[in-house]
Amino acid sequence: MYYMNSESADPFFNLAVEEVLLKNDSRDFIFFYINNPSVIIGKHQTAHKEADTKFTLENNIPVIRRISGGGTVFHDRGNLNFSFISGSETGKQVDFRKYTTPIIKFLNTLGIDARFEGKNDIRVNGLKISGNAEHVHRQRVLHHGTLLFDSSLNELRNAIRKDTSCYSSRSVDSNPSRVTNLCEMLPGIISIAEFRQQLVNFLLEESIDMHPYYLEEVHQEKAIKLVKEKYHSWEWNYAYGPEYEFRKNFIFNGEEQYCHLFVKDGMIRECNIVGSPLLSGVAEELKGCRHMPGDLSDAINKSGPELCDLDIFSFF
């Protein structure tokens, strides 16, 4: 077993490294990383349904799709991510308890009564401190999870969409949970770096076969290529998810409007707006647009200055 601390806080790169080690290596790894603020959605989720589009765009928080299933999580510099990447036996590959057990044992040694609860959470006194997900690739499995140490819970709540009633789809829904930070229970540990090192030390004591690992150049090159071709792409982060419908009532020029969108492969295939004649005429212009704020704004602005006061986020 090899363990590695990422030197990068780039969420695109760290997710790519996970995929590269899973699919291009046969060794077993434990990979730790701390990301810049980002919303990480599950493979089968709808990006706009999970993330608050207005908040994330205005605060430059990227929304990134991972290769594993499950629900949405928020990453920032106060959140420690851990990944187990290893060979696995057919029929026994998905095993959340196997990979969360050493994390729970570590927290127990710190006096924290952490427990595995629900399908894939670690909780303390009913409050979530870790969400986990898995992805199987042939005879290998990726299990990754979060550990909220000193995350900005206010930013977390704002970045993840609270009311998803405007969206309907076959996508996997997140399970909203009350969360807390571990630092509130660990006054003696003053930084996330110290917390990470204590976790590494615990795992080293538990295993006689753990060795440090530094990302090899060939894997780094593959990860950089994967970031460019996949993780930075609109096609992966927004268009990949299942088709969905969006329905919303909103006010424009003092009148109530009703909007209905049908979106497939990230593109608006059908659009109907009832209310203002100005907006009804715009509906046809929106067909064929990507369901993204910039694209809709460009299309609507071509229709004339009368629509300059329209809040583009009424369509998200």
Residue 305 binned pLDDT confidence (cut-offs 50, 70, 90): low
Among 203, 223, 239, the domain-final residue is 239
CB within 8 A of 179, min separation 6: which ones?
127, 128, 129, 148, 153, 156
Residue 142 binned pLDDT confidence (cut-offs 50, 70, 90): very high
Instruction: Clarify whether residues 188 and 257 are in a common domain.
Output: no
Residues forming beta bridges with residue 274, ordered by sequence position: 258
Query: What's the rounded Cα separation, in Å, for the pair 143 and 99?
Result: 7
Instruction: Clarify whether residues 165 and 286 are in a common domain.
Output: no
- Of 230, 221, 313, residue with least CA distance to 43: 230
Top pLDDT among 269 and 305 is at 269
Average pLDDT over residues 109-116: 97
The DSSP code sequence of 90-105 is TT----HHHHHHHHHH
Instruction: Clarify whether residues 100 and 164 are in a common domain.
Output: yes
Query: What is the sign of the dihedral through the CA atoms of 31, 37, 42 and 43?
Result: negative
Average pLDDT over residues 127-154: 97
Residue 307 binned pLDDT confidence (cut-offs 50, 70, 90): confident
pLDDT in tens, 9-45: 999 999 999 999 999 999 999 999 999 999 999 999 9
* Residues 244/254, Cβ–Cβ less than 8 Å: no
Instruction: Clarify whether residues 98 and 178 are in a common domain.
Output: yes
Instruction: Please report, to the nearest 10 degrees, the dihedral formed by the alpha carbons of residues 180, 129, 210, 137 taken in order.
Output: -140
Query: What's the rounded Cα separation, in Å, for the pair 155 and 75?
Result: 10
Query: What's the rounded Cα separation, in Å, for the pair 20 and 221?
Result: 10
Among 180, 206, 239, the domain-final residue is 239
Residues forming beta bridges with residue 160, ordered by sequence position: 51
Amino acid sitting at position 116: F
Residue 235 binned pLDDT confidence (cut-offs 50, 70, 90): very high
User: Whole domain around residue 51: which residue ranges?
Assistant: 2-239
Among 211, 239, 267, the domain-final residue is 239
The pLDDT of residue 301: 85
pLDDT in tens, 236-259: 999 998 999 999 999 998 899 999
Q: What is the mean pLDDT of the chain?
A: 95
Could you tell me what percent of the chain has a pLDDT over 90?
86
Instruction: Clarify whether residues 232 and 255 are in a common domain.
Output: no
| Location of structure tokens 């995350």 | 151
Instruction: Clarify whether residues 80 and 19 are in a common domain.
Output: yes
Number of residues in the chain: 316
Instruction: Clarify whether residues 75 and 138 are in a common domain.
Output: yes
Q: To 10 degrees, what angle do helices 192-206 and 96-109 make?
A: 110
Instruction: Clarify whether residues 234 and 104 are in a common domain.
Output: yes
What element of type H or E holds 79?
A: strand 79-87
Domain count, the chain: 2
- Domain at 200, CATH number: 3.30.930.10
Instruction: Clarify whether residues 10 and 104 are in a common domain.
Output: yes
The pLDDT of residue 306: 72
Instruction: Clarify whether residues 159 and 15 are in a common domain.
Output: yes
Instruction: Clarify whether residues 148 and 132 are in a common domain.
Output: yes
pLDDT in tens, 189-211: 999 999 999 999 999 999 878 99
Q: Are β-strands 63-65 and 38-41 bridged in parallel, bridged antiparallel, or unpaired?
A: parallel
Cβ burial of 126 (10 Å; 0-12, 13-18, 19+) is: exposed
Instruction: Clarify whether residues 174 and 188 are in a common domain.
Output: yes
Query: What's the rounded Cα separation, in Å, for the pair 45 and 188?
Result: 38
Query: Is the model's pLDDT at 5 over the cut of 70?
Result: yes
- Of 131, 23, 19, residue with least CA distance to 65: 19
- Domain at 309, CATH number: 3.30.390.50
CB within 8 A of 44, min separation 6: which ones?
69, 171, 172, 241, 242
| Residue 77 vs residues 101, 236, 282: alpha-carbon distances, Å | 24, 24, 42
The DSSP code sequence of 108-138 is HHTT--EEEETTTEEEETTEEEEEEEEEEET
Average pLDDT over residues 95-102: 94
pTM, rounded to two decimals: 0.95
Average pLDDT over residues 48-69: 98
